[in-house]
């Protein structure tokens, strides 16, 4: 019997290491023959720490939100006493949530030990690589990827086969295969989870791609903020090299390929491929003009192919199951599956992998369980700072590259931030623009100065100092920045502003002309008052006010001095009689 503990970053943050230590202590104390193992994240991050008890026949019972105290109960009552602990076990709703997905990229996540190559080999790991190196020509490999219809999952959705073919046809003996694992979007953690949970899938995908283009060296560019991912990835590279899946004369074919990791400093702009290449070469991460494209002149001016983690992780499945099987999933223009990091005001946040073509409503309400506290759904931000806000009226939009683009957002790498009625869309646009403004490399005047001017305007609006003409000026700046910027960061930075103006213009107008935030989110625009008919004079608000802005005798109606009030909201939080009103 085995105890398997989810030990991705989400599980560890929720206390997985403490839970593991508790299990080990109790097992030793009782002298039981039980092994305690770890796995990655299965995607249901809201249920962490997750513990599987697997018997000798492979039957599994899953316990969720496990504490150190629960560990003793699981050992004594379930393992030893053979009793069901229904209050700790995963619910049928959560099992259904996982079952509604189609897992290709996440096929092994939460099921295998990411630090043990034998677990990956047991689920047909490196079978696809062996097939490609022993039985297929580079042309046949590329044709299979073409038949599959796999598009790059890093955001642009460019056909993978085309990039591979361009790099293969570029002249030169030295070529490079690069993985872009510089996942920088706020709220996105798809690549990190794959690196932590199934690193060999990435290595195998890169090995197949290297054979296709004729590369003998590969680099995985990972942001240094992913320490666990880097440790597990390096461990996987070392194990693959020891087993002969990396290095010289792989599968006795005469083909050489090896990998190394480059830890990036966390600059968002390095997610752009030419900026990433500059960083790899030891330069400041700044975009270069294209053409030439990396497939012609990339890393050290040699032909270079760059794909992200999710793209490579699809590749082994495609070659084990066939390009046609992959193409059978999804829509006519967007094949296969897509992994999303579902975050924000959604009940069941985490990673989900679904076939292309499902609607936003399917993901947010059917798989994600709907909105927390049953509040009204307002919008979903797709594509991170480079994307846009899609309103409730477009919930039936299919998840397809073209259909999402029509809304003004983009698929992006897979961030999906859900917002409810309490979210101010002007402030949301300000938040994302603040991010891109800080992350701009500064090379382009339009991006460097333009985003700064836009941020100044948005700051004024959210502070109640908006002016007539601000909306029109924002729109003018948006289009000039899109047209005048060199790389994707500047070209897409205006998207959150443009989409919020398009779908929520009334909120901008309320802020500017009426000095009101309808979502009651922007503090400078709020006014706290006390309803005389509801106030019982309990004194709770007065007692908790940090600046003594509330006056009134016990059992008498209290008042808030607007000249002193700092609008912290403490009075609203502590009042049990709903007498504090926010306007």
pLDDT digits (tens, 9 = 90+) for 355-386: 999 999 999 999 999 999 999 999 999 988 88
On whether residue 112 sits in a domain, the answer given is no
* H helix intervals, 358-494: 360-361, 401-406, 425-439, 445, 451-462, 470-484, 488-492
460 and 488 within one domain: yes
Query: At 545, which CATH number?
Result: 3.30.70.20
209 and 285 within one domain: yes
Q: What is the pLDDT of residue 548?
A: 95
On whether residue 317 sits in a domain, the answer given is yes
Q: What is the DSSP letter of 384?
A: G
348 and 323 within one domain: no
Residue 187 pLDDT grade (very low, low, confident, very high; cuts 50, 70, 90): confident
On whether residue 414 sits in a domain, the answer given is yes
Query: At 510, which CATH number?
Result: 1.20.1440.230
Domain boundary among 71, 99, 127: 99
On whether residue 522 sits in a domain, the answer given is no
Query: At 62, which CATH number?
Result: 3.40.30.10
pLDDT digits (tens, 9 = 90+) for 195-238: 999 999 999 999 999 999 999 999 999 999 999 999 999 999 99
For residue 122, what are its two tokens?
């047991």
Domain boundary among 420, 450, 465: 420
On whether residue 216 sits in a domain, the answer given is yes
Closest CA to 497 of 415, 566, 408, 421: 408
317 and 261 within one domain: yes
Domain that holds residue 453: 425-514
CB burial of 282-307 (b: ≥16 within 10 Å; e: otherwise) equals eeebbbbeeeebbbbbbbeebbbbbb
258 and 149 within one domain: yes
Residue 184 pLDDT grade (very low, low, confident, very high; cuts 50, 70, 90): confident
For residue 414, what are its two tokens?
């897979």
543 and 576 within one domain: yes
- Whether the predicted pLDDT of 124 surpasses 90: yes
- Average pLDDT score, the chain: 95
Number of domain units in the chain:
5
When pLDDT is averaged across residues 35-60 and rounded to a whole number, the result is: 94
User: How many whole angstroms separate alpha carbon 185 and alpha carbon 55?
Assistant: 40
Query: At 251, which CATH number?
Result: 3.40.50.11540
* H helix intervals, 285-384: 309-321, 323-327, 360-361
On whether residue 107 sits in a domain, the answer given is no
Q: What is the pLDDT of residue 311?
A: 97
395 and 275 within one domain: no
436 and 361 within one domain: no
Query: At 369, which CATH number?
Result: 3.10.20.600
- Whether the predicted pLDDT of 116 surpasses 90: yes
- Whether the predicted pLDDT of 155 surpasses 80: no
287 and 432 within one domain: no
295 and 160 within one domain: yes
41 and 123 within one domain: no
What torsion do the CA atoms of 42, 46, 48, 53 make, to the nearest 10 degrees? -60
When pLDDT is averaged across residues 472-490 and rounded to a whole number, the result is: 95
174 and 60 within one domain: no
pLDDT digits (tens, 9 = 90+) for 482-492: 999 999 899 99
pLDDT digits (tens, 9 = 90+) for 406-435: 999 999 888 899 999 999 999 999 999 999
Domain boundary among 99, 129, 150: 99
On whether residue 487 sits in a domain, the answer given is yes
Q: Which pTM does this prediction carry?
A: 0.93
On whether residue 390 sits in a domain, the answer given is yes
């Amino acid at each position: 019997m085995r105890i398997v503990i989810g030990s991705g970053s989400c599980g560890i943050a929720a206390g997985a290491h403490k839970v593991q230590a508790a299990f080990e202590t109790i097992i030793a104390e009782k002298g039981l023959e039980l092994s305690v193992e770890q796995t990655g994240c299965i995607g249901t991050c809201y249920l962490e720490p997750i513990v599987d008890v697997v018997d000798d026949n492979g039957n599994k019972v899953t316990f969720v939100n496990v504490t150190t105290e629960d560990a003793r109960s699981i050992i004594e009552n379930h393992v030893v006493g053979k009793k069901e602990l229904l209050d700790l076990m995963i619910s049928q709703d959560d099992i259904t949530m996982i079952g509604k997905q189609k897992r290709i990229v996440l096929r092994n996540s939460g099921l295998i030990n990411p630090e043990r190559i034998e677990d990956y080999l047991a689920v047909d790991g490196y079978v696809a690589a062996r097939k490609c190196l022993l039985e297929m020509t580079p042309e046949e490999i590329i044709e299979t990827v073409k038949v599959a219809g796999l598009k790059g999952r890093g955001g642009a959705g460019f056909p993978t086969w085309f990039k591979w073919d361009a790099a293969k046809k570029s002249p030169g003996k030295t070529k490079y295969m690069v993985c872009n694992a510089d996942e920088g979007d706020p709220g996105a953690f798809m690549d990190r989870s794959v690196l932590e949970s199934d690193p060999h899938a990435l290595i195998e995908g890169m090995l197949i791609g290297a054979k296709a283009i004729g590369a003998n060296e590969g680099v995985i560019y990972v942001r240094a903020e992913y320490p666990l991912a880097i440790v597990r990835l390096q461990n996987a590279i070392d194990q693959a090299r020891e087993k002969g899946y990396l290095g010289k004369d792989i599968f006795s074919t005469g083909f050489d390929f090896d990998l190394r990791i480059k830890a990036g400093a966390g600059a968002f702009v390095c997610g752009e491929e030419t900026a990433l290449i500059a960083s790899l070469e030891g330069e400041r991460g700044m975009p270069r003009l294209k053409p030439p494209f990396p497939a012609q002149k990339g890393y050290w001016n040699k032909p270079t192919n760059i794909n992200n983690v999710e793209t490579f992780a699809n590749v082994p499945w495609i070659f084990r199951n066939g390009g046609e099987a992959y193409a059978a999933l999804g829509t006519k223009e967007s094949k296969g599956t897509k992994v999303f990091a579902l975050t924000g005001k959604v009940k069941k946040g985490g990673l989900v992998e679904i076939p292309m073509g499902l609607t936003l409503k399917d993901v947010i309400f059917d798989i994600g369980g709907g909105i927390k506290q049953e509040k009204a759904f307002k919008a979903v931000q797709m594509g991170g700072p480079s994307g846009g806000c899609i309103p409730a009226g477009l919930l039936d939009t299919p998840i397809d590259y073209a259909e999402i683009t029509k809304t003004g957002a983009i698929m992006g790498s897979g961030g999906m931030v859900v917002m409810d009625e309490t979210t101010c869309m002007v402030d949301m646009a300000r938040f994302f623009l603040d991010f891109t403004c800080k992350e701009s490399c500064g090379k382009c005047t339009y991006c460097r100065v333009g985003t700064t001017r836009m941020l100044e305007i948005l700051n004024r609006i959210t502070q109640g100092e908006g002016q007539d003409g601000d909306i029109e000026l924002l729109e003018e700046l948006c289009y000039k920045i899109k047209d005048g910027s060199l790389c994707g960061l500047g070209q897409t930075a205006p998207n959150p502003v443009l989409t919020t103006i398009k779908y929520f213009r009334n909120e901008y107008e309320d802020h500017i002309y009426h000095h009101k935030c309808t979502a009651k989110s922007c503090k400078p625009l709020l006014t706290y008052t006390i309803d005389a008919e509801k106030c019982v004079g309990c004194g709770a608000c007065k007692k908790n006010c940090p600046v003594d802005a509330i006056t009134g005798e016990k059992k008498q109606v209290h008042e808030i001095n607007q000249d002193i009030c700092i609008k912290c909201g403490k009075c609203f939080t502590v009042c049990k009689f709903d007498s504090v009103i926010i306007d």
